[in-house]
Amino acid sequence: MKEDDVVEHVKPVEVGKIDERALRDELRRLRTLVPDTPQLNPIVSLAFDLSRRLEAGEIGLEDLRSLASRLMDNACVHRARRLRERVGFVDHATTLKEFSSFIDARASGEGDADGAFSAFVERWSRPRNGIVLTAHPTFGLSDSLTRRMVEITTNGEAPEEGRLGTAHRPDDKIDLAYEHSRAQEAIRNLRSAYFDLLNSFFSVAAQRFGDRAFQLKPRLATIASWVGYDLDGRTDIQWSKSFLLRIEEKRAALVDIRERFLAIRHRISDEEGIMRVARQITGKLDLAIAAVDEQVKGLTNVLQGGGALARAANIITRGDGYNLTSTTPVTALIDEMIDQVSTPQMKRQLAALNGLIEATGLGTAHIHVRINATQLHNAFRAFVHEPWTRDLSEGQALQRIVEMIGSAREETVNFQTLELETATAIRQFALIAQIKKHVDADTPIRFLIAECESPATVLIAVFFAKLFGVSDIVDVSPLFETPEGLDAGPRLIERLLEEATYRDYVRGRGRISLQTGFSDAGRFIGQISATLAIERLHFALADMLKRAGMDEIETLIFSTHGESMGRGAHPDDLTTRLRYVFSDEARRRFARNNLALKHETSFQGGDGYMWFANRGLTTRVLATIIMDGAQPAEGEDALYESESLTLDFFLRLKAYQQNLFAHPGYRAVLGAFGTNLLFKTGSRASKRQHDHATVADRGDPSRMRAIPNNAILQQFGYIANVVAGLGMAVATDRNRFLRLAERSPRLRTILDMIAHAKRLSSLNALSANAAVFDAGFWALRASWGREAAIEPALRNLSTFLLSDTRATSINGFAHHLRLDAIDLHQILETLGIEGGKVPDDHRLELDLLQAIRLAVIMRIFILAAQLPRFAQQNDTSHSQILNLALALDIPDVVAFMREAFPHKVNLASDASAYDEDATYRPHGIDDYGRLETEILDPMEKSYDLVREIGTGITHHFGAFG
């Protein structure tokens, strides 16, 4: 291919070093000028200066990388220390001491010893809290960087000179296997922490109640994971992979139990009766491990294409004779051993081991299976094949489903069933049936339904559970996360409870399960109004379940939220975070109605797993979550005294955020670069499975998942879905609101979160990221005549961007937000809450990172404007490639250009191999070589730095997305 423009050769010059202190001082100086120079943007001004020096050769890209690395290291260390504060970690001994005091306080009940013991038994007869690990795409930090951060978190000490020596980027390959291994590493620490806390529990209980303490079967908490079992919005996880993961988890659990048991046995005296039982235990575990090994081997061969499914299936079924599918044979023998040993220490250790087994079953943890409502509806329609299934919201359809549940006859399945079944939802129920049959017959499995807005959806799941014989272990759980779902959730549950078949089902399970989603709710209506909406759902549920007479069963509420403020995580300590998503008032209302309650909380992806990165941290987190199960003290919060004021505030805030969601500037922010400012941080697609958005549509927030949505807001420097709207929501009721804020702990907690988000947010950063799309910026830069070498590129950029609306839209969005921010700062200042109007050193470093990245983006734009023109090929034009480059789709741009202009290095360098001389050398060799060395290679390196700085910006916000 012939290019129309020849790439100019730029001679490299010696580069200088960047004075970091001078840059900080300049940023501070520029900020002081803003009141008298309203159009001045300090970040743009500093970025422009760095860009001009970069293009002039005064500094090099590596100088910017070195400076950015120092700033990112600082941010990473600060993030690690903040995690220590949020976890409340001091040391392992302190954790166990505090937990023992908590248990002791609950053992000292009123009345005689028998009454106190009975109360203690009742308190710990069921778990009040749970932890769920999810595979959300927040694996933005490599395993090595995570370990480095955890070292700082646990010892509190920063590295010498603050340098970490580790790149700020994820590991290279993030697939399901990677995510599952990271989750299992966290679960291993959770199992060890649970065992340690059980030891403390039995130690306190034995001191209070003597040997009868070892008869207790305490349920401190539950541990669960959906990594490998979540099919909401994805089709890349085969049933065979999920089943293989489950039996591999079973093997890991059996090996862990065996190792813990042997460690205990070696400290027990060699009495024949005890050793006989010990041999029985190890024998059962050894046979079970051998059976699982055969299963793993057979199914692995199938997945690797080396064996037939039937052969593997037959291996699994033939091994059922010595395969454990219940923990009872082992726990009963351990109980027998507890009775026989004499020393309290050994009794305690054995009782703790039994407690661990009973809490986790025949797996490392419980599992959650997840699909969405659409998948479930499609499966049901395929199963029934009748016209009435077209509209499942009709009352007639609901009644037909109820009748089907009543008349359902249990079906049996085998592994061929799983292979032949095409409906995802049905296949998942058949998978559960096979897990129950061949892996674990007793341990509950949660069946989560995303985007659930109809009672028919839940009843369809109950029908399939009954059809496949798993309704005795499956807890069907609707997820309420959309505005419609949150509003209608209590009515949906109430409608379900009107059906005897559903009441029978939940009474059979002993619980009614539901899930609330903070991430998507926060995306649609803002995080603060989402939190208030979910709280209102909790209130309505408490009242409705009391009216329905459901006080004899447990209400299980799973709060699905992430580690960032944009996904519902309060930035203060863990206790505040737990009470933020499930408030004291909501807990009190359930307690007043005598409703048994269990609250589960999620830890999402790599950022979430960091809380469980070693045994000490994990034990502290788990202990805090268990202690959170304590009932809050009775009391009244002023926030709930004036229903009209609270409701008006909620509705106005919700309306503001919904208008913000529809603002063209919001779309421009999300679509300007899309997710191209960031590394890929998970195996799941960033868009909904049913979406096929074009480049023009990529800013549509309804098409984008919550995590990339929030991540882009972080990268643009203003987390609007947390910060924005308070001023408008307060409106003319400001004085009443201020008086309320001084009296309401709940409202103060909400305001603290908004203030923390505001201290990190910068409208200057938001506008700065739009500057590169401003044609006037490039035209003015060209007009000064100070950068003659790149003036053609500057003019090209200006011409190309004349019709681009991104800068105008984003700046309009920033102006809209600034009006609200004025009111916000006034409210926070009146209440004495620091809102970051004058940025601290950490915010200055964040602004400096923004400026450095903006300068590097300017470098990419200038390089893109020098790309040679070419004749259109494969429906791709030069303007399309330039458009991609300006959206930072750099890998695609570079790949296309290298194919269009191949740099044949090898062919050009072996001229000596030819006997025949030639005086003519094809010019394209040199031109294509310059394209590679002067544009494409620098563009790739610049883009790599852009994304790494994106990780540094994430550090400041404390979590990805």
Which residue did the predictor score with more confidence, 543 or 235?
A: 543
Q: What pLDDT does 903 receive?
A: 76
pLDDT at 708 over 70: yes
Residue 859 sits at the vertex; the CA angle it makes with 665 and 775, to the nearest 5 degrees, is: 45
Dist. CA 374–CA 471, nearest whole Å:
21
CB distance 468 to 413 below 8 Å:
yes
Side-chain-side CA neighbours of 613 within 13 Å: the count stands at: 26
Confidence of residue 639 (pLDDT cuts 50, 70, 90): very high
pLDDT at 685 over 70: no
Q: What phi, psi does 266 have (nearest 5°)?
A: -65, -15
Specify burial of residue 539 (Cβ count, 10 A radius: 0-12, 13-18, 19+). middle
Q: What pLDDT does 926 receive?
A: 59
Provide mean pLDDT across the span 696-706: 79
Q: What pLDDT does 837 receive?
A: 87
| The dihedral sign for the CA sequence 762, 764, 768, 774 | positive
Q: How far is CA 693 from CA 187, 671, 686, 703, in A?
A: 37, 11, 12, 8
54's tokens: 């970069």
Alpha carbon of residue 700 to chain centroid? 21
| The dihedral sign for the CA sequence 466, 472, 473, 477 | positive
Return left, alpha or beta for 740; rule: phi > 0 is left, psi -120 to 50 is alpha, else beta: alpha
Write down the pTM of the prediction.
Answer: 0.94
SS3 of 210, please?
A: helix
pLDDT at 691 over 50: no
Provide mean pLDDT across the span 230-235: 88
What tens digit of pLDDT does each residue of 901-940 get?
987 655 555 667 778 888 776 665 556 889 999 999 999 9
Domains and CATH numbers, the chain: 20-65+643-887+941-957 (no CATH), 88-139+174-360 (no CATH), 373-598+630-640 (3.20.20)
For the chain, what percent of residues have pLDDT higher than 70? 95
SS3 of 368, please?
A: strand
Q: Which of 839, 714, 848, 605 is nearest to 72 (CA)?
A: 848
pLDDT at 8 over 70: no
**Strand partners of residue 476:** 447
Dist. CA 410–CA 466, nearest whole Å:
7
Provide mean pLDDT across the span 319-339: 93
Q: Which of 158-162, 265-269, 684-688 shows the lowest per-residue confidence on average (mean pLDDT)? A: 684-688
Confidence of residue 687 (pLDDT cuts 50, 70, 90): low
DSSP strand pairing (445-450 vs 366-372): parallel
pLDDT at 1 over 60: no
SS3 of 474, please?
A: strand
Q: Which of 162-171, 462-471, 599-608 shows the lowest per-residue confidence on average (mean pLDDT)? A: 162-171
Provide mean pLDDT across the span 339-356: 96
774's tokens: 């401003």
16's tokens: 């200088």
Confidence of residue 840 (pLDDT cuts 50, 70, 90): confident
pLDDT at 69 over 50: yes
Provide mean pLDDT across the span 801-823: 97
Confidence of residue 684 (pLDDT cuts 50, 70, 90): confident
Confidence of residue 302 (pLDDT cuts 50, 70, 90): confident
Residue 750 sits at the vertex; the CA angle it makes with 748 and 751, to the nearest 5 degrees, is: 65
Q: What pLDDT does 133 receive?
A: 99
- Indicate the average pLDDT of the chain: 93
Confidence of residue 11 (pLDDT cuts 50, 70, 90): very low
In the chain, count H helices and then E strands. Answer: 42, 8
Dist. CA 178–CA 708, nearest whole Å:
20
855 C-beta neighbours (distance < 10 Å), count: 23
Q: What pLDDT does 20 receive?
A: 86
pLDDT at 2 over 60: no
Which residue did the predictor score with more confidence, 454 or 921?
A: 454
